Chains A and B, each alone.
Chain A
């Protein structure tokens, strides 16, 4: 009797195990069904397509990046060209200002001449240059010698006048570019104006002429600082 009970229990347990496992399997199979295998292959293919797509997108992105870089380089090149143009322009302007370029424009020509018993001295010319600058002259030359930032006018032994180390002799032709009206009126004030003063005090011939087109040549010497150094702020 005892053996039969054990057997019954064991058979029951075995039935539990077998049927439970079978149902588990049924459930799995019904959920996954036979298309799962096909799905798996499809999944593989999909994965491959996805990876290819990702790769393609990456490459497209790379291409875009490179194109952007090329565009940037081109822009930079353009900018550089513009900058160099600007720099060239600025350089030209600065050269013109410094007197290293020939300039032309309207202005006045002042002529000073020695007389038999009265000479033109450096002081006369210096004063003239000063007056012209006061009246707004932008470029001045005396007998073709351009007045630049370090120009000097001095007498040499009472015989000659030197400008920028070059000897010049009478008649002295002073060309000045600027507003001719201002220049003329600045020089020809009555009595204490430059021209009258020269005539009265120094007894030298001074003539003034307005001209529409004066060309002033460039300074031919070197313009170099030897002691001064520019400070980069």
Chain B
């Protein structure tokens, strides 16, 4: 059910994105940061699902909140002439790696356990 929703959502999103107008180069930097923040939220969501601590409200608010906040911080950095987006990228990508590691370990454990059961 969820998997179908994800696939349909991705397909629709891809169609919308392909047909959307091109954003000017000046704003594509903000958009990139927003994407990184959103991806971080997605991986965080998956990780928390694995842990069984998934909360819909936290996930949605984190998804949009982080994106908007990172855009605002990048904008502020532009105004202050400080590359704040670097810090955002470091934090988000670092968390993404952590979450990915959690997901990887979970599935490896699952796989190893299944092999053991088969062997027994």
Contacts and interface: CB of A to CB of B under 8 A. Distances in A.
Interface string A2-39: 00101111111111111111111111110110001000
A23 B16 CA distance: 8
B28 A23 contact: no
Interface in B52-107: 56, 60, 63
B25 A32 contact: yes
Interface residues of A, number: 28
Contact of B14 (A9, A11, A23): A23
A74 to B, nearest CB: 57
Most-contacted residue by chain A among B5, B20, B23, B39 (CB, 10 A): B5
Contact of B17 (A6, A10, A20, A36): A20
Contacts, number: 95
A188 to B, nearest CB: 112
A126 to B, nearest CB: 107
A9 B38 CA distance: 17
B73 to A, nearest CB: 18
Contacts of A31: 22
B50 interface: no
A21 B14 contact: no
A25 B56 contact: no
Interface string B1-16: 1100110111011101
> Which 5 residue pairs are nearest across A and B when measured between Cβ atoms?
A23-B17, A15-B9, A19-B13, A12-B5, A12-B9
24 contacts: A7-B2, A8-B2, A11-B2, A11-B6, A12-B9, A14-B9, A14-B63, A18-B13, A18-B35, A18-B39, A19-B10, A20-B17, A21-B38, A23-B13, A23-B17, A24-B22, A25-B23, A25-B28, A25-B35, A27-B18, A27-B22, A28-B23, A28-B28, A32-B28
Interface of B: 1-2, 5-6, 8-10, 12-14, 16-18, 20, 22-25, 28, 31-32, 34-35, 38-39, 42, 56, 60, 63
